[in-house]
Structure 1
Amino acid sequence: MEIPRYPESRALLLEDKAELDPLLWELQPRVSELTFANLYLFRLVHDYRLTRVGNSVVALGCGWDGTPYFLPPFSGDRAAAARTLINAGRTLYGADQGFLECHFPTWDGLEVIEDRDNFDYLHLRQEMAELTGKNYHKKKNRVNYFAVRHRYSVEAYEEKYLEGALKVLDEWQRIRTSMGPSTLEREVEGAAEALRLYRELGLAGIVVLVEGEVKGFALGELLNRNTAVCHFEKADLFMEGLYQLVDREFCRLLFLGCEFVNREQDLGELSLRQAKLSYHPVELVQKFRVRRKG
């Protein structure tokens, strides 16, 4: 079965934000992929293309291994659109429990696979902002360790900090790459574009300045009415406690109306998983892949 195209399965463009933002907001998504900024910043990595299936707008993409997939449809008869694409041989990626319960109450002919490597880490924003209690004792100690050793300030991210933030990003990539083979280049490209286009993409962020020089930054946006999502956080790897400070200040200064912060997935990287779990998430937002049996 040929997959329907819309129009001619064209690539995602920055101008699509005006159309897609209302559709995505109406969904009130819980999974971090379903924001325009995330789609746009990783459009080349995952070859995101827009199509229309029936009355539904859908993003088609490819996994890191080249496997074709599609994200939960953005509008219209979402169940019918998903069924059509699954029957055409594509895998649904990024379905959460709510999507499955609403649109696939029975799994006849479907294989539903838990995707642990892509579970999102959900945290209470206030806990992350205050680092109080025994669960955060070590995190707070590291912030204090940094604070007594450095003269620093925290500012809202603006264009004047672009050059400094890109320098942090380049140095971060250089050090991480020196530790062994990696696929960091794609992540770095997305982060650099986010820094350049933060206004156009509707992102907000903070920078940490040490002696007037940018040493760390974080960028994010609203995911739904009650949740912010942090897309990027990078800092000088040799300044102990700086990462913890960046995390704290992002939650302390931004998105104050939100109860939760989604800190995205660990992609199956053991060290990243341990680091994310050390912040004691209140929930791991489950994601599933759905495909045709056989």
Structure 2
Amino acid sequence: MICHSQQSATYDSAPMVGNSTDDLQTEPNILKPGKFDLGTRSLILDFLGHYPPCSCEYSFVNLFCWQNLYRYSWFFYKNTLVIHDDRSQSLFMPIGEDLEPKELFALSQKAVSLGLSGSIGLVPESYVEIWPDLDRYFAVASDRDAADYVYMTDDLIELKGNKLHKKKNLVSQFKRAYPDYVVVPMTAKDCKSVMQFERRLLAGMTSVPSSLVEESDAIEMAFSHWDDLGLSGLMLLVKDKIAAFAVFSPLSSDTWDVHFEKADISFKGAAQMINHETAKFLKGTAQFINREQDLGIPGLRQAKLSYAPHALIEPYFLMPTKLDLRSH
């Protein structure tokens, strides 16, 4: 699995923006940040191509589709790309060559001077291990709720072993109950009907959590820009009726990210079936499938763990300590 590890990067420099690296701002411009419009897509993908992330948070699809909720923005700092999450008032770990802890702390303090928390999230374990003096500048804490669940594509297809036996049974039950099912690739023309399906699922709930309403808005954003975002997807149909769908896109050269997945629970086994079919569809294209985070939601955590992830990639969260940089 290819993940962002700046220290081991084989590239000579950060991605070029414009005609030269002079176009990169040398000081953070948090007050006049860039937005995640479609014109930004090639810029983000260029950075991520050089520094592949493990976290789904860096996916341009997620940044674009969730930006209204989290009020995401970006800016350059010392040839790195920094993403700001205005909802939590924190920064993502910069994308690019490693900033030393002192440099990272200077960035954090600039954010503090502008009324932000100065906290930095999505810090990979490799960075914490490389810089043992990090705790001189930050309080370092693991962030389990932001851990990404990564599965081997073949494991989700084969469903071998005792841990996945129930999943395999549910897939078999679905096939027996609905022998006329079909799985078809999603295209932009299908987005309207799939969005109607998503809304019906919400309308059928007695109580709708705000998180699902927010997710529905993000789905609508994705569907409104399907081709521009380079999305792929599958629909599971029973007698021309949608039973489930999944939406996904590449995160790195060997990993695809499943952004959205929904199933009608009245079709027993539909949720397991769409998961299984997505893996079959991606075989030969993706060695790994990132099924994103559980956000600390107990039911979601249990569901993701029940698929026996190949890796649980847990990032770190940095909170700045009070320090006089002049003494260092």
Aligned to 2:23: none
Higher strand share: 1
Amino acid at match of 2:35: A
Distance 1:255 1:8, change over 3 A: farther
Residue 170 in 1 paired to residue 199 in 2?
yes
Contact 2:154 2:283 in 1 (8 A): no
Residue 86 in 1 paired to residue 108 in 2?
yes
109-118 vs 190-199, greater mean Cα deviation: 190-199
What is the TM-score normalised by the length of structure 2? 0.82
Aligned to 2:247: 219
SS of the counterpart of 2:32? coil
Superposition pairs of residues 88-103 of structure 1, within 5 angstroms: 88=110, 89=112, 90-102=118-130
Residue 113 in 1 paired to residue 147 in 2?
no
Distance across 2 between alignment mates of 1:215 and 1:22: 36
Distance across 2 between alignment mates of 1:284 and 1:261: 12
Contact 2:36 2:64 in 1 (8 A): yes
Structure 1 runs (4+) greater than 6 angstroms displaced: none
SS of the counterpart of 1:171? helix
- Of 63, 68, 74, the residue aligned with 1:44 is 68
SS of the counterpart of 2:128? helix
- Of 308, 316, 319, the residue aligned with 1:288 is 316
1:157: Cα distance to partner?
1.0
Q: Give the aligned length.
A: 288
Amino acid at match of 1:12: F
SS of the counterpart of 1:126? helix
Which of structures 1 and 2 has the bigger CA Rg?
Answer: 2
Aligned to 2:276: 248
Superposition pairs of residues 27-38 of structure 1, within 5 angstroms: 27-38=51-62
Amino acid at match of 2:300: L
Unaligned runs of 5+ in 1: none
Amino acid at match of 2:139: E
Contact 1:228 1:255 in 2 (8 A): no
Distance 1:256 1:172, change over 3 A: farther
Aligned to 1:13: 37
Contact 1:55 1:77 in 2 (8 A): no
Aligned to 1:195: 223
Amino acid at match of 1:86: S
Distance across 1 between alignment mates of 2:302 and 2:228: 34
Identity %: 27
Contact 2:237 2:244 in 1 (8 A): yes
Aligned to 2:211: 183
1:31: Cα distance to partner?
0.9
1:181: Cα distance to partner?
4.2
Contact 2:149 2:291 in 1 (8 A): yes
1:105: Cα distance to partner?
5.4
Aligned to 2:289: 261
CA shift digits 1:92-136 (9 cap, x unpaired): 111121233346653212111111111111111101012223221
Amino acid at match of 1:192: E
Amino acid at match of 1:75: G
SS of the counterpart of 1:45? helix
Superposition pairs of residues 152-163 of structure 1, within 5 angstroms: 152-163=181-192
SS of the counterpart of 1:44? helix
What is the TM-score normalised by the length of structure 1? 0.90
Contact 1:266 1:272 in 2 (8 A): yes
Distance 1:203 1:181, change over 3 A: closer
Aligned to 1:25: 49
Residue 56 in 1 paired to residue 73 in 2?
no
Unaligned runs of 5+ in 2: 1-26, 113-117, 323-328
